[in-house]
Chains A and B, each alone.
Chain A
Amino acid sequence: MMDFKNYFELTQLYGDYASAVDAADWDAWPEFFIDDCVYKLQPRENHERGFPLSTLAFESKGMLKDRVYGIRETLFHDPYYQRHVVGTPVVRKVDADGRIHSEANYAVFRTRLSKESTVFNVGRTLDEVVRTPQGLKFASRLVIYDSELIPNSLIYPI
C-alpha cells in the first residue's frame, strides 16, 4: 500500500503540523493545506448522528488565513499554550492517484497563564493527504472530537 519513505513523510507531516500549532506558528498553519482544502472541527455527536454542523468549518485556505487573522487581531481571549500528543497515523487507503486516507488519535492539553495544565480536547483526525511539488499537504482534515464540552472557548486550531 505504501512504502517506508512515503510513510515516513506522512508521519513527518503529522509531527510538523502538531509542532506548528503548539508553537503558535499561525503563518505556518494554513500552509499545511492545499488551496482548495477542507478543515473541520466537529463534535463526535454531530459526526456520528449525521448532523452537518461543525464548531469550525473552513472550506478554503483563505478561510484558514481569516482564522489566523481572527486569532491575532479580533478574538479576545485568555492566552494559552496548547500541546498536542498525536498517535501514529493509521493509513486506511491510498487511491490510485496517490491520495492518502489516514487518521490519528490526538489529545490536546491546555495551559493558561498562572493555571494548571488540563485536558482540553481529545479525538481523532480523519485526513486526506495529497502530494504537491512542496511535499505532502492536507486536502482535508476532519477533526472529530470526543470531548463533550469545550472548556469555555476554543481559539487556536487543533
Chain B
Amino acid sequence: MSVSNTVFPESPKWPEEGTSRVPFWAYTREDLYKKELDRLFYNDHWCYVGLDAEIPHAGDFKRTVIGERSVLMVREKDGSIHVVENVCAHRGMAFCRERHGNRDSLTCPYHQWNYSLSGDLQGVPFRRGVKQDGKVNGGMPADFKPSDHNLTKLKVATRGGVVFASFDHDVEPLEDFLGPVILGYFDRLFDGRKLKILGYNRQRIPGNWKLMQENIKDPYHPGLLHTWFVTFGLWRADNKSQLLMDTHHRHAAMVSTRGAAGKAADVTQVSSFKANMELNDPRFLDIVQEPWWGGPTAVMMTVFPSVIFQQQVNSVSTRHIQPDGHGAFDFVWTHFGFEDDSEEMTQRRLQQANLFGPAGFVSADDGEVIEWSQEAFETKPSHRALVELGGREVGDTDHMVTETLIRGMYEYWRKVMEAT
C-alpha cells in the first residue's frame, strides 16, 4: 500500500477547487478545532450569549457558554448587563452551578471569594490573616491587590434586546462585525420591541459545529429534505428569494417569500412532495402576516460562528451553537415573542414551534443528517464534500438554487484559519 493512499493524511492539503470542495478533515481534526475556538470563538468575533429579557431584574443571571468556556450574563444593580467568565480567580473553579437565578453578588463556594455582579473581587476570607494567641497567622501577601484578581470580564454589546460578548476587547463594534446588510435584517427582527421568552429546547447533535452553520446556509436541502416546506410552499426552490452575505462572507441571510403551495413542474418532482397531504389540524400552519415582516415570510440569519436567528413565518427563535469537541455541539433554542403579541399570536407562535427544535416536523431531520455526515467524515478524512450548486464562485444571489453561502463561509474560514 502506498502512503499517498492513506485516508488519514498527516499534513493534508486543501483541495485545489477553492471552496467548492470542503475536505472531511476540516470537521475531524482536533488541532484545527482548538484553533477554531481560539480564532473564531475567543478572538475577533462577537458571540451570542442571550436575550436581555432572560435577565429582566437587577441581580438576575444566566449561565451559558462561548465556545467551550462557561460565562455568566448578569444584570448589575444599575441595570447594565455584564458578561464574566465562570472561573474563580483563585483556584479556577467553575463556581456557578445554577443555570439561572438571582444574586446580590457572586461567590465561589470553595473559599468564598466574593465578586460584585460585574466581576470585581470584593471579598477574600482571611486576607489579613487570622489572629490567634496574640499573633496574626497567614493572610495574603501585603502587596495582594484585589483589583488584580477580578473575574475575566468580557466586552459586551447589546442591540434590540440581544446580548453578544467577546473575550477580545479589541473586537470591532458589533454593527461593523455584522455589516450593513445583515444588520438590516437583524434590526428587522429585533426592532426594539421588548422580547417575551417562550422557553427553551436543548439538543446534543453529534456532528461538527460548522455543519449547523452550513445547514442554515444551505437553501438547497429545505425544499428536498423537508416535506412540510415543499408541500406547503413554506420554503422551496421556486419561492422568491435572496441570499445575502456580509463583505467577509462569514454571515448570511436567506430571505424568502412563501409562494403557492401545491404542484409546480420542477420543484415538486421530488419524493418529499406529498400532493395529497392535508393536515388533520391546520392550526400547525395558522399563518398570520405581521407588519414587521415587510415582505419576506422567512429570514434565516447565520451570524458566524455562534448563532442562528430564525424567522419562519410566525415562529421566531435564536439557535445557539455550543461546540463540545470537534465532533459534537449542543444546540439551544430560545423561542420568543414580543411584548405586544396578543394571546392568539403567542399561541400561534407556540403551535408553529412544532415545526422546529429537536422533535420538529422540519428541524428534527437536520440534526439527523448532520450526524450521518459526521459519521462518514470520521471514517475517511482524506475525502471531501462537494459544494458546487450554482457554480464555484461566491456572491449574493436572487434565487436559492445555489450553495454560494457555504462556499463564502469557507472562503472566510480558510483565511482566518490559514488553511492552505
Residues of A within 8 A of B (CB): 41, 43, 45-46, 49, 51-63, 65-66, 69-70, 73-78, 148-155
**Given contact pairs A76-B225, A153-B364, A57 touches B203 in the complex (Cβ within 8 A):** no
Check A62–B281 contact: CB distance below 8 A: yes
Check A75–B358 contact: CB distance below 8 A: no
Residue of A59, A76, A150 near B365 (CB, 8 A) is A76
Residue of A45, A55, A61, A152 near B368 (CB, 8 A) is A152
Interface hit among B35-43, B294-302, B346-354 = B346-354
Check B359–A56 contact: CB distance below 8 A: yes
Check B200–A53 contact: CB distance below 8 A: yes
The distance in angstroms between the C-alpha atoms of A51 and B330, with both chains bound, is 21
Interface hub of B197, B281, B365 (most chain A Cβ within 10 A): B281
Check A154–B359 contact: CB distance below 8 A: yes
With contacts defined as CB atoms under 8 Å apart, how many contacts are there between chain A and chain B in the complex?
119
The distance in angstroms between the C-alpha atoms of A153 and B360, with both chains bound, is 9
Which chain B residues lie closer than 8 Å to A49 at the CB level? 100, 199
The smallest beta-carbon distance between A102 and chain B, in angstroms, is 24
Check B359–A153 contact: CB distance below 8 A: yes
Give 14 pairs: A residue, B residue, CB < 8 Å, sorted on A: A43-B199, A49-B199, A51-B197, A52-B350, A53-B200, A53-B201, A54-B353, A55-B358, A58-B354, A60-B281, A74-B274, A75-B364, A75-B365, A152-B203
Query: Which residue of the partner chain B has the closest CB to A46?
Result: B199
**Given contact pairs A63-B280, A74-B272, A152 touches B200 in the complex (Cβ within 8 A):** no
Check A151–B364 contact: CB distance below 8 A: no
Interface hub of A52, A77, A78, A152 (most chain B Cβ within 10 A): A152
The distance in angstroms between the C-alpha atoms of A51 and B53, with both chains bound, is 13
The smallest beta-carbon distance between A110 and chain B, in angstroms, is 13
Additional pairs, 9, CB under 8 Å, beyond known A70-B361, A76-B225: A53-B198, A59-B283, A62-B281, A63-B354, A74-B228, A75-B361, A77-B365, A149-B330, A152-B368
Question: Does B419 sit within 8 A of A, measured CB to CB?
Answer: no
The distance in angstroms between the C-alpha atoms of A93 and B11, with both chains bound, is 67
Check B361–A62 contact: CB distance below 8 A: no
Residue of B204, B279, B357, B364 near A155 (CB, 8 A) is B364
Question: Does B378 sit within 8 A of A, measured CB to CB?
Answer: no
Check B361–A153 contact: CB distance below 8 A: no
Which chain A residues lie closer than 8 Å to B197 at the CB level? 51
Check B203–A149 contact: CB distance below 8 A: yes
Residue of B274, B335, B372 near A73 (CB, 8 A) is B274
Residue interface bits B206-250, CB-to-A below 8 A is 1, else 0 = 100000000000000000011110000000000000000000000
The distance in angstroms between the C-alpha atoms of A74 and B279, with both chains bound, is 13
Check B361–A57 contact: CB distance below 8 A: no
The distance in angstroms between the C-alpha atoms of A114 and B254, with both chains bound, is 38
Which chain A residues lie closer than 8 Å to B174 at the CB level? none
Q: Lowest 5 CB-CB distances: which A-B pairs, in order? A: A53-B199, A51-B199, A62-B280, A62-B281, A74-B227
Question: Does B367 sit within 8 A of A, measured CB to CB?
Answer: yes
Question: Does B202 sit within 8 A of A, measured CB to CB?
Answer: yes
The distance in angstroms between the C-alpha atoms of A51 and B354, with both chains bound, is 15
Check B368–A63 contact: CB distance below 8 A: no
The distance in angstroms between the C-alpha atoms of A34 and B100, with both chains bound, is 38
**Given contact pairs A45-B200, A52-B199, A76-B369, A152 touches B205 in the complex (Cβ within 8 A):** yes
Query: Which residue of the partner chain A has the closest CB to B351?
Result: A57
The smallest beta-carbon distance between B129 and chain A, in angstroms, is 43
Check A54–B350 contact: CB distance below 8 A: yes
**Given contact pairs A52-B346, A54-B350, A152 touches B204 in the complex (Cβ within 8 A):** yes
Which chain B residues lie closer than 8 Å to A53 at the CB level? 198-201, 335, 350, 353
The distance in angstroms between the C-alpha atoms of A63 and B359, with both chains bound, is 14
The distance in angstroms between the C-alpha atoms of A59 and B354, with both chains bound, is 11
The distance in angstroms between the C-alpha atoms of A29 and B251, with both chains bound, is 43
**Given contact pairs A63-B280, A69-B277, A55 touches B359 in the complex (Cβ within 8 A):** yes
The smallest beta-carbon distance between A56 and chain B, in angstroms, is 5
Residue of B202, B284, B372 near A149 (CB, 8 A) is B202
Check A63–B274 contact: CB distance below 8 A: no
Question: Does B388 sit within 8 A of A, measured CB to CB?
Answer: no
Which chain B residues lie closer than 8 Å to A62 at the CB level? 279-281
Query: Which residue of the partner chain B has the closest CB to A58?
Result: B354
Residue of B204, B228, B280, B330 near A65 (CB, 8 A) is B280
Which chain B residues lie closer than 8 Å to A41 at the CB level? 359
**Given contact pairs A55-B358, A77-B364, A150-B358, A66 touches B199 in the complex (Cβ within 8 A):** no
Which chain B residues lie closer than 8 Å to A65 at the CB level? 280
Question: Does B371 sit within 8 A of A, measured CB to CB?
Answer: yes
Which chain B residues lie closer than 8 Å to A52 at the CB level? 198-199, 346, 350
Query: Which residue of the partner chain A has the closest CB to B365?
Result: A76
